[in-house]
């Protein structure tokens, strides 16, 4: 499957031609007949998720198969914003008394799904940036979901998973198209005033939301996660599961104010705030509270990227 894009030198960054992407990988993506397989650990967690008789003990046994993941769940449970006054001395305590079954299950699902993808760390869309954005997005999305009125409120665990996985397209792009990924990162570094999505369309002919949603759908991830991945930069999306795309869009904009992530700016769209019935001051306050107690989240992101 050779094309001019595969022959481009990753050490040079020619300008895109007007009206045409520099490295049009969209057609190559459409011709791919094999995607990276879902990791075995992720399959175990999805099976657990589909088992109505699964218990906390079943979840703990699966998580304990990955000591690094278990350590990160324990670390997350001790985060100050959960305000748990007791001692988190076991995974069972972290699940039952602090985080809840669904949040732990979805954290494990997102973390294990991303593990096989190895991309450069220290580039704008690299592994360090991905995990920093992912863990902060998940925490803020979960917290924002609690502020949504009960009649339209999404489950906190699903909001967390949507935040964790919505930028998965960057991982898949770097995994499948290494040279093109490096070139894209050079353009992002060179043109900081342009949005990442705009540069993606100019350079590779598609965007990370479409790529991520494609993999999430192929892996049969929840539809809510597929929509969040595909539509999280779309202010106008009002289709099925729009609450997830809207939550993640707000989360991205809130994080942009703290110089995290790939949102085009930090402005919070009034129609989306009204749709979710969240006030701007309320949203900013929720994000600020999490950012003030962010040591554990930074440590989680670093560990996942290592």
Lowest model confidence (mean pLDDT) among 23-37, 89-103, 152-166: 23-37
d(CA 154, CA 245): 11
CA–CA distances in Å: residue 98 to residues 76, 77, 93, 94, 244: 9, 6, 7, 5, 23
pLDDT of the residue at 116: 86
Q: In the chain, how long is the greatest CA-to-CA distance?
A: 60
pLDDT above 70 for 10: no
108, 72 Cβ separation under 8 angstroms? no
Buried b (16+ CB within 10 A) or exposed e, 213-232: bbbbeebebbebbbbbbbbb
Report the run of H or E that residue 91 belongs to, with start and end.
Answer: helix 91-93
Q: Which of 276, 209, 207 is nearest to 238 (CA)?
A: 276
Read off φ and ψ for residue 22, nearest 5 degrees.
Answer: -65, -45
pLDDT of the residue at 292: 87
Residue carrying structure tokens 């399959």: 43
The answer regarding whether domain 21-30+119-305 maps to CATH 1.10.3210.10 reads yes
Q: Which of 45, 181, 171, 59 is nearest to 118 (CA)?
A: 171
15-56 pLDDT, tens per residue? 555 566 777 787 777 777 677 889 999 999 999 988 999 999
Percent of the chain whose pLDDT exceeds 70: 93
Q: How confident is the model over 233-254, as a mean pLDDT?
A: 97
Q: For the chain, give the mean pLDDT.
A: 89
pLDDT above 60 for 9: no
pLDDT of the residue at 231: 97
> For residue 244, what pLDDT band results from cuts at 50, 70 and 90?
very high
User: Cβ–Cβ contacts within 10 Å for residue 131, how many?
Assistant: 25
40, 47 Cβ separation under 8 angstroms? no
d(CA 166, CA 187): 22
pLDDT of the residue at 1: 32
220-229 pLDDT, tens per residue? 999 999 999 9
pLDDT of the residue at 14: 53
pLDDT of the residue at 11: 47
> For residue 115, what pLDDT band results from cuts at 50, 70 and 90?
confident
Q: How confident is the model over 150-177, as a mean pLDDT?
A: 94
pLDDT above 60 for 150: yes
67-90 pLDDT, tens per residue? 989 998 998 898 887 888 889 999
């Amino acid at each position: 499957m050779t094309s001019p894009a595969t022959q481009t030198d990753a050490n040079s960054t020619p300008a895109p031609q007007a009206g045409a992407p520099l490295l049009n990988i969209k057609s190559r993506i459409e011709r791919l007949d094999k995607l990276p397989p879902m990791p075995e650990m992720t399959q175990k967690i999805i099976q657990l998720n589909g088992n109505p008789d699964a218990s906390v003990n079943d979840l703990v046994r699966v998580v304990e198969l990955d000591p690094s993941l278990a350590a990160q769940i324990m670390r997350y449970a001790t985060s100050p914003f959960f305000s748990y006054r007791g001692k988190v001395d076991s995974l069972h305590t972290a699940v039952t008394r602090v985080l809840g079954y669904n949040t732990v299950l979805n954290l494990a699902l997102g973390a294990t799904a991303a593990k096989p993808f190895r991309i450069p760390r220290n580039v704008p869309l690299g592994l360090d940036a991905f995990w920093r954005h992912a863990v902060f997005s998940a925490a803020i999305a979960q917290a924002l979901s609690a502020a949504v009125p009960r009649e339209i409120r999404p489950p906190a665990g699903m909001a967390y998973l949507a935040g964790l996985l919505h930028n998965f397209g960057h991982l898949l792009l770097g995994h499948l198209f290494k040279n093109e990924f490096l070139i894209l990162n050079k353009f992002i570094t060179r043109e900081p005033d342009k949005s990442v999505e705009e540069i993606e369309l100019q350079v590779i002919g598609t965007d990370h939301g479409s790529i991520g949603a494609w993999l999430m759908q192929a892996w049969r991830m929840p539809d809510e996660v597929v929509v969040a991945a595909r539509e999280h930069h779309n202010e106008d999306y009002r289709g099925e599961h729009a609450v997830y795309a809207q939550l993640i869009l707000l989360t991205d904009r809130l994080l942009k104010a703290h110089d995290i992530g790939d949102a085009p700016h930090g402005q919070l769209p009034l129609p989306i705030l009204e749709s979710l019935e969240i006030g701007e001051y309320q949203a900013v306050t929720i994000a600020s509270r999490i950012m003030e107690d962010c040591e554990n989240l930074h440590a989680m992101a670093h560990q996942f990227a290592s």
